[in-house]
Chain A
Amino acid sequence: MARHNMGTIVSFEVKRTLSRAGFWIATLVVPVIMGAVIALIVVSNTSAADGANSQERAQFTFTYSDASGYVIPAVAEALGGIPALDDEQSIADVKAGTLDAHFAYPANPAQEPTKVYAVDEGIFANGKYAAIASEVLIASAQAAIDDQSLATLVRGDFRVSSTTYKEGRESAGLAEVIPPLLLLLLLLFYASILLMGNLMATSLLEEKENRVSEMILTTMDPTTMVSGKVVSLFIVGAIQMAAIALPVVVGYLFFREELRLPYVDLASLSFEPWPMLVGTLLLVGGFSLVTTTLAAAGAIMPTARDAGAIAAPVSIVPFAPLWAGALVLSNPQSFVVQILTYFPYTAAPTAMLRNALGTLSAVEATIVIVELFVLSFVIFRIAVRLFQYGSIEYSQKVVLKAALAKRE
């Protein structure tokens, strides 16, 4: 019966959470903003590229002076340029409107700006002058390199393959691959807290606010009820994470180049089991601790508003490791980082960050994981007790001492 009831509770809770408009508004606001940003970047990059191309193709006459000696006349001529006899005269012609543009290349274009003088054709159309001035110099530089491969290198169009060693052994290139995946776990942890903090805090409050507690408690065991609530929070959290991750994946797969995201060769990914396992356990343990704590807080408070007062600090404290991020990176054995590693509500994110950076030892990982799961279980039992004996205190806070001190 308990298992049947738990399945019923999970199904009921998940369905009704997913059917709420508020849940989807909160969930989709992040992906929608991300999608909008991606769209803006893609559109912006595309139009910029199109603009540059069209500007480069735009035909206009220009003169140029070249103090550097880098400009190849044939290249400039192909783009519509002729050497200037006198800078001052060319500038005067531009001012008079008898010449479209004049470019003055300095002695050292890498150090000094190339000066462009041109007839104003509007903010957007004016871009063509700088585009052509640059194109003349780049094409001339590339033409000066006889070797095509060298020209390719100059453009930065090449790949690097790294092999790293740790304690004399090859570390399988995971330094590149694992940290992003492990940091993704940390990101998921923070996203879940930010998006689900309120849901967690009100999960056990709802029965009280709706005055359903007495009917629930005389129908089933409170442990089953609280377990069902926690499991449903995990499922809802997973759905929420998927909804958030989807635009990231779509953005990477279809708009990687427009977004200028680094290329990751998925075929070459090799997963080192230990850091991944540690990261996953830390994620689950940290999520469990926050969930049970907020659920217990909800069981004490008479209203969602009151529960929010507890939910806020419990949701904020896990972000402390980010404030001390530099210290976590540079000196993981420092006193502050050690405190953050073992204090329950900062332990999961700190350990996840250190795990991603490879500075979390096996012993430390074991201690933190055990701590998170044991504390989660203890607080879960407290939440059950508070729900059992506190959920019919409809209009007042539950007195913790009274609820916990009494016999079973």
Chain B
Amino acid sequence: MDFDGHTVLRDLSFDVERGETFGFLGANGSGKTTTIRALLGLYRPTAGELYVDGRRFEPERGGNLGYLPEERGLYKKESVINVMTYFGRLKGLDKHAASSWSMEYLERVDLADKAKMRVDKLSGGEQQKVQLGVTIMGEPELLILDEPTKGFDPVNRRLLLSIIEERRQAGATVLMVTHQMDEVERLCNRVLLLKNGVAEAYGTVSEVQAQYGGTTAKVAFTGDIPDSSWYRVMRRENNYAELDLDEGVDEAEVLRGLVQAGVSVRSFVTGRPSMDDIFVRVYGGHDEPEAV
């Protein structure tokens, strides 16, 4: 995929399995939205296509796909119910079905009393709820959600994630772009990390975690973490540090070494690196971990 002579995406190919939630991850400007737009035919890629159920995606058969774009928007001067019913009809529902589905959804997201209000009279978060409703109506088989919880407060964020999860449990496949790594760990079966137009990592969450370090030790301490050949310090903030343990190193030996070096350890927890850590490592400009 080229823009003005610059290659933005190169040989990018990935599969999203039926019924899974797929995390499509990347830093700002890494090409996530471009990839999605190219897949959907909104941009014309140099090469490549989107296949749904083995068939090339055609917008005219839009009932199969629900897309929540990064650029949010609705017909602002129309009423909420009119806009939802309109999109429902475009997705193949009859007027009554589209209208009643919309009212049920609005009840669910606590907007029923605003059904007849103009869209531009709603708050930004409320408009996003309506837009998510438009996206999932018609029970699409594939949901492509570009930062679906952007700008939501924790309560509404949880509500919307539960709605998305319900759709997945009902059989929909979800491809989700997000910068919320806790959402990724909680919801996604597999992920792809996009960097400089190529897939930096691709696989299940566990596989990617394994790819970016076997074991991480999260240490709360007082004193100075000494240099060691057993680990590398991935992160150090005041009295907290994350250590990437070298392969085969015994976690107990590391703890013992710290104590013997005079470090007062208040907690020492080992595990896989979090997606947040991996994200920072991949996109944070610290490709080479700090040597200790």
Give the interface of A toward B (CB within 8 A): 1-2, 4-5, 8-9, 12, 16, 20, 206, 210-212, 214-222, 224, 389, 392, 394, 406-407
Contact = CB atoms under 8 A, between A and B. Distances in A.
A9 B89 CA distance: 9
Interface string B63-81: 0010101011111111000
A216 B42 CA distance: 11
A212 B74 contact: yes
Contacts of B41: 217-218
Contacts, number: 81
B74 to A, nearest CB: 6
B134 A224 contact: no
Q: Which of A217, A218, A224, A392 has the most chain B CB atoms closer than 10 A to its own CB? A: A218
B76 A215 contact: no
B91 interface: yes
User: Nearest 5 pairs between A and B by C-beta?
Assistant: A211-B73, A219-B62, A214-B69, A221-B60, A218-B67
Given A1-B60, A215-B73, A220-B62, 9 more contacts: A5-B89, A16-B78, A214-B69, A214-B71, A215-B69, A217-B42, A219-B59, A220-B90, A389-B42
Contacts of A407: 44
Nearest to A208: B73
Contacts of B43: 389, 392
Nearest to A212: B73
A214 B42 contact: yes
Contacts of B134: 215
Given A16-B78, A224-B60, A219 B91 contact: yes
A218 B37 CA distance: 10
Contact of B75 (A4, A20, A210, A218): A210
A8 B89 contact: yes
A206 to B, nearest CB: 7
Contacts of A2: 60
Interface core residue of A9, A214, A217, A394 (most chain B CB under 10 Å): A214
B71 A211 contact: yes
Contacts of B61: 1
Given A1-B92, A210-B73, A215-B134, A12 B42 contact: no
Given A8-B86, A407-B44, A218 B71 contact: no
A89 to B, nearest CB: 80
Q: Chain B: interface residue count, which band?
A: 20 to 34
Contacts of A389: 42-44
Contact of A218 (B65, B77, B89, B92): B65
Interface string B240-280: 00000000000000000000000000000000000000000
Contacts of A210: 73-76
Contact of A4 (B77, B78, B86, B92): B92
Given A215-B87, A219-B87, A394 B74 contact: no
A226 to B, nearest CB: 13
A220 B67 contact: no
Contacts of A9: 90
A196 B180 CA distance: 47
A212 B75 contact: yes
B75 A206 contact: yes
Contacts of A4: 89, 92
A219 B75 contact: no
Contacts of B78: 16
A200 B66 CA distance: 29
Contacts of B59: 217-222
A16 to B, nearest CB: 6
20 contacts: A1-B92, A4-B92, A16-B77, A20-B77, A210-B73, A210-B74, A210-B76, A211-B69, A211-B71, A217-B42, A218-B41, A218-B59, A219-B62, A219-B91, A220-B59, A221-B58, A221-B60, A389-B42, A389-B44, A392-B42
Contacts of A218: 40-42, 59, 62, 65, 67
A215 to B, nearest CB: 6
Nearest to A224: B60
Given A211-B73, A212-B75, A221-B59, A392 B87 contact: no
Interface in B5-45: 37, 40-44
Contacts of B73: 210-212, 215
A389 B43 CA distance: 7
B90 A5 contact: yes
A406 B44 contact: yes
Given A2-B60, A16-B78, A389-B44, A219 B71 contact: no
Contacts of B67: 214-215, 218
A4 B63 CA distance: 13
B37 A219 contact: no
A16 B71 CA distance: 23
Contact of B90 (A211, A219, A222): A219
A318 B103 CA distance: 48
A394 B71 contact: yes
A219 B62 CA distance: 4
Contact of B37 (A215, A216, A224, A392): A392
B90 A214 contact: no
B74 A8 contact: no
A4 B86 CA distance: 12
Nearest to A389: B44
Contacts of B135: 215
